[in-house]
């Protein structure tokens, strides 16, 4: 009887899982994407620690790359910042109508994935 009660509780209780966090650092900046929560931050590294520069929302996730938009515009027709863990780069994609350059590598950086 006790086993059944714990079995039923086990099926219905959700244990919080560790969030998957992708980070990359280059040019004095740290890019941090929390995949499960669909949020991203860009921070500047200083001698006193990290200074937050921007917060964004992850809009693209194919398992190898994540892309987020930052600022008040949070739709796909805007400039996006991405991490590609396979290629080891931080990159930009410009989906605005006025864009002359559609995308490009911002820097090469190892993308670390942690739980």
Q: Could you identify the residue written with the tokens 């620690």?
A: 49
Are the C-beta atoms of residues 33 and 21 closer than 8 Å to each other?
A: yes
Give a yes or no: residue 80 inside a domain. Answer: yes
The answer as to whether 48 is a domain residue is yes
Query: Is 4 a member of any domain?
Result: no
Task: Note down the domain range covering 63.
Answer: 17-114
Domain-located, residue 3: no
64 in any annotated domain: yes
For 64-110, how does the pLDDT look when each residue is reduced to its tens digit (9 = 90+)?
999 999 877 666 677 899 999 999 999 998 877 666 656 789 999 99
28-56 confidence digits (pLDDT tens): 999 999 999 999 999 999 999 999 999 99
What is the pTM assigned to this prediction? Answer: 0.78
* Contact in structure between 80 and 68 (CB atoms under 8 Å): yes
Query: Cα dihedral sign for 33, 115, 24, 52?
Result: positive
The number of distinct structural domains making up the chain is: 1
């Amino acid at each position: 009887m006790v086993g059944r009660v714990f079995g039923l509780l086990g099926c219905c209780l959700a244990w919080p899982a560790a969030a998957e966090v992708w980070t990359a650092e280059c040019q004095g900046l740290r890019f941090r994407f929390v995949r499960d929560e669909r949020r991203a931050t860009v921070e500047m590294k200083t001698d006193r620690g990290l200074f937050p520069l921007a917060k964004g929302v992850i809009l693209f996730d194919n398992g190898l790359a994540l892309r987020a938009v930052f600022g008040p515009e949070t739709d796909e027709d805007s400039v996006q910042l991405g991490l590609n863990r396979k290629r080891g780069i931080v990159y930009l994609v410009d989906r605005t109508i006025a864009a002359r350059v559609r995308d490009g590598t911002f820097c090469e950086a190892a993308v670390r994935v942690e739980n």
